[in-house]
Amino acid sequence: MTHDLVVANGTVVTPARGAFKADVATDGEEISAIAAPGTLSGDTVVDATDAHVLPGAIDPHTHHGIYRGLEADAETESRSDLVGGVTTIGNYFRRPGSYREIMDDYFAEAEPNYYHDYFFSLGLLSFDHVGEIPAIIDELGITSFKWYKNYKDVAPEKFGVDCEMHDDWADAFIQTLADQDVPTTLGHHSENMEITSARGDNPYIDAGVDADREYRDYDVLVDQFPDYAEAQSLTASGSLARQHDYDDDFYAVHVSAGRTADELAMLQEAGWEITGETCTHYLTLTAEDCDERHNVNPPVRSRADQETLWNRVADGTISCIGTDHCANLRDDKVGQDVPDSLPGFPSSATLLPLILSEGVAENRIPLKRAVEVTSTNTAKAFDIYPKKGSLQIGTDADLVIVDLEQTKTVTPDLLQGGADYSPYEGRDVTGWPTHTIVRGQLAYEHGDIVGQRGHGTHIDRPI
Ligand SMILES: [Zn+2]
């Protein structure tokens, strides 16, 4: 039989089967055959000789719509993602009102614009949100949520909600999540606010421009958010989750410090089943490389932190890698000094290439581990596996074909997104997609976007 599309003669890599030479066929939106190399025929054939075929990358941590509207970000950022082999993203969204009332409009902005698939994770900001959890799961197909420890006390001022986000409230939503009969995920921003806000202006209340202020560099940011404020917060909240037997669905987002990763390893050793995520910037930048463009919370830290995080990715403590991607323009991003600049930067499209370049090519992790942390484990953590992240017959045909030898210099033009800068601008990165396939559709080919805007769709969970 002739298949719709065949990726021929590549080296397929999956965590379940390791690396093997094969042809992969897709029909419609699914993988329909995996067979010996050179045996399958297709209407379209992509030659993957000398290349590797991986399940499409998943960025579980994006903030589309945070600085521009979702409509704009959905289009430009998902287009850019194809360049980097990302075929699914998880986007964080938070609003003070009722999600059941808001989400129809939000879905309507997403649906015509995404080139690839997506799911949402909703910020819990009030007791009303806690009460809505069963309906959000039932009616909206959303099963992941976020606990922002960094908005403790400031939520009334920042969001206009009647909730200071103290632990009685957290206790209530963890109990509610634990009581659901479908799998859920609780993302946790680990930060002890009493400590970080005492060390400078409260970073979540806009301090504004002050002409008399001395210039503050990146070290000021690092000093305001010390590693122990992250580590202590993770342990305290993880303990609360454990009291409700919910630690296996507790997901620590953007672990930035070696200390936090080491403490997470200790907790896992003791039987706590917390999942850890780090981001590419904590693995590939150090504070001394950073300026206004690299303001992000938590901040990028030291070379020692970076090496510890790589070791913890390699040994299994950290099981997912995201980016905290935000699309913003350089002029909007850069403020009076580093702390005054907007947090977040564009980075989804460089997720997989940076892990291939600085993880695999530098022998910090094997290719199979790179697939786990950029795709398979992430799909499992957000309960979209094996539909996503598996590369098995009968699952979504999300594939990325990578040339591990290809070196490109990062520029905004290369990445084709909405932002006019990249935190990695000028860096030579080795290991790039040559083709990206989204649910059976060839969407990116040697520098050209050939996919279809609107092809992407919301992944209703539970799948
Ligand atoms: Zn984030």
pLDDT tens by residue, 237-288: 999 999 999 999 999 999 999 999 999 999 999 999 999 999 999 999 999 9
Instruction: Tell me if 330 sits within 8 A of 345, measured CB to CB.
Output: no
State the pLDDT at residue 208: 64
> Which pLDDT does position 205 carry in this prediction?
59
Ligand 1 geometric centre to CA of 364 (Å): 25
Q: Kindly give the distance from the C-alpha atom of residue 63 to the centroid of ligand 1, in angstroms, as a whole number.
A: 6
According to the model, what pLDDT value does residue 237 have? 98
Q: Give the C-alpha distances (Å, rounded to integers) separating 123 from 78, 119, 189.
A: 22, 13, 11
C-alpha of residue 158 to centroid of ligand 1, in Å: 17
Of 22 and 214, the one with more pLDDT: 22
Give the span between the Cα atoms of 129 and 12, in whole angstroms. Answer: 43
pLDDT above 80 (res 209): no
Check pLDDT > 70 for residue 173. yes
Q: Report pLDDT for 212.
A: 80
65, 105 in Cβ contact below 8 A?
A: no
Q: Higher model confidence: residue 115 or residue 209?
A: 115
Q: Which residues make up the CATH 2.30.40.10 domain(s) of the chain?
A: 2-52+396-417+428-449
Statement: residue 201 has pLDDT above 80? no
- Dihedral of CA atoms 386, 392, 395, 399 in degrees, nearest 10, equals 100
3-state secondary structure (DSSP) of residue 438: strand
% of the chain beyond a pLDDT of 70: 98
pLDDT at 211: 75
Distance 67 CA to ligand 1 centre (A): 13
Give the per-residue pLDDT at 214: 87
Instruction: Note if the bond before 353 is cis, omega within 30 degrees.
Output: no
Residue 72 has pLDDT above 90, yes or no: yes
Residue 73: predicted pLDDT: 98
Residues, beta carbon < 5 Å, ion ligand 1: 324
Domain with CATH 3.20.20.140 in the chain: 57-207+217-381
CATH architecture for the domain at 2-52+396-417+428-449: Roll (2.30)
Ligand 1 center–CA 62 separation, angstroms: 6
Q: Distance between CA 304 and CA 283 in Å, rounded?
A: 10
Q: Give the mean pLDDT of 117-146.
A: 98
Q: Quick one: average pLDDT of 393-420?
A: 98
The per-residue pLDDT for range 411-443, each reduced to its tens digit, is 999 999 999 999 999 999 999 999 999 999 999
Q: What pLDDT sits at residue 153?
A: 87
Q: State the fold for domain 57-207+217-381.
A: TIM Barrel (3.20.20)
Distance 235 CA to ligand 1 centre (A): 19
Q: What is the pTM of this model?
A: 0.97
- Kindly give the distance from the C-alpha atom of residue 227 to the centroid of ligand 1, in angstroms, as a whole number: 17
- Residue 164 corresponds to which tokens in the numbers above? 């200071």
E strand or H helix at 129, and its extent? helix 127-140
Question: How far is the C-alpha of 408 from the C-alpha of 226, rounded, in Å?
Answer: 34
* CA 60 – ligand 1 centroid, Å: 10
